[in-house]
Structure 1
Amino acid sequence: MQTQGFHHVAIICSNYEKSKKFYTEILGFSVIQETLRKERDSYKLDLQVGNHDRIELFSFPNPPARIGYPQTEACGLRHLALAVDNLEQTVNELESKGVPVEPIRLDELTGKQFTFFKDPDGLPIELYES
């Protein structure tokens, strides 16, 4: 199998308007397309992340809560990692918008800095300095 990379990451949110605001206004992702799927009582929001990547943000009535934070090490998606040029500047920007961010750490394997914050549903998002 030959792939060209990821096409998108899909995220299901519990509060569509709150998550839409977070991903567009706080994180600054641009809207590609917003679709109301009446038959499913659901929205699908396609977001542009960087030059080539996408997030599909879905809303569904009463989705079950996320099981736990990465420390639980459960099977499945552990976190979403975003590459940034300047980690400290990005952390300061998020904190100025009221988003709590964990202390910056150093990846022992690569020597790069990283940290975590959460989306409105507690999905862990990593910032990794490229």
Structure 2
Amino acid sequence: MLKGFEHVGMTVSNIDKSLNFYVDLLGLKLTVRRRGQDDSGFEFCFLDAGNGMLEIMGPATGALQAEDVAAGRSGLRHLTFCFDDIDTLYRRLEEAGVELVEAPREAYNRDIVDKVAFCRDPDGILIELCER
């Protein structure tokens, strides 16, 4: 029987930059930070998003920027996090120099959320900010 959503894992180019974005700016909680047990030099972290976790893994060699999923191609399009006030958060992200994609607006799927906005994380992954 399903108990719930556990986590999404993704590769990042720089753990510290990603922690700054996800923990310091978005407010996820760092629960685990470790180095791999082999000699590859990778590091991984688990970040608590309240109702699921985000696992970020940084290879010692870094990683290329993410690419958006092309129309007609399978893949993850974005990660969505829910907040009390995305207008205030959006201004904070702007002040921090985060790449902004779309300012807060009324959601198309109003039966689920009220407002949405979009930005990119340090690796170019599209992040949706929503407000219920």
TM beyond 0.5:
yes
* Partners of 2:14 and 2:62 within 8 A in 1: no
Amino acid at match of 1:103: A
Preserved CA contact (<8 Å) 2:29 2:47: yes
Task: Please show how residues 1-130 of structure 1 align to structure 2 within 5 Å.
Answer: 2-39=1-38, 40-50=40-50, 52-60=51-59, 61-66=61-66, 68-69=67-68, 72-73=70-71, 74-101=73-100, 102-110=102-110, 112-130=114-132
In structure 2, do the counterparts of structure 1 residues 16 and 107 end up closer, same or farther at CA, with 3 Å as the change threshold?
A: same
Gaps of 5+ in 2: none
TM value normalised by structure 1: 0.83
Secondary structure at the counterpart of residue 28 of structure 1: coil
> 105-114 or 41-50, which moves further after superposition?
105-114
TM-score (norm 2): 0.82
Give unpaired runs (5+ residues) of structure 1. Answer: none
Identity of aligned residues (%): 29
Offset of 1:77 from its aligned partner?
0.9
For residue 109 of structure 1, report the CA deviation from its aligned partner.
Answer: 3.3
Deviations 1:34-69 (A, max 9, x none): 11014132111111112x321111012354542x32
Cα RMSD, aligned residues only: 2.0
Q: Indicate how the Cα distance of structure 1 residues 38 and 78 shifts in structure 2: closer, same or farther if over 3 A, else same.
A: same
How far residue 116 of structure 1 moved from its aligned partner, in angstroms, is 0.6
The runs of at least 4 aligned residues of structure 1 exceeding 4 Å deviation read none
Distance between the aligned counterparts of 1:56 and 1:109, measured in 2? 27
More helix by share: 1
1:62–1:86 Cα change, 3 Å: closer
How far the C-alpha of 1:97 sits from its partner, in A, is 2.0
2:82 and 2:130 in contact (8 A); partners too: yes
Question: How far did residue 110 of structure 1 move?
Answer: 1.5
**CA 1:48/1:108 → structure 2, altered by over 3 Å: closer, same or farther?**
closer
What CA distance in whole angstroms lies between the structure 2 residues aligned with 1:100 and 1:3? 36
Task: Figure out how many residues of one structure are paired with residues of the other and give that number.
Answer: 126
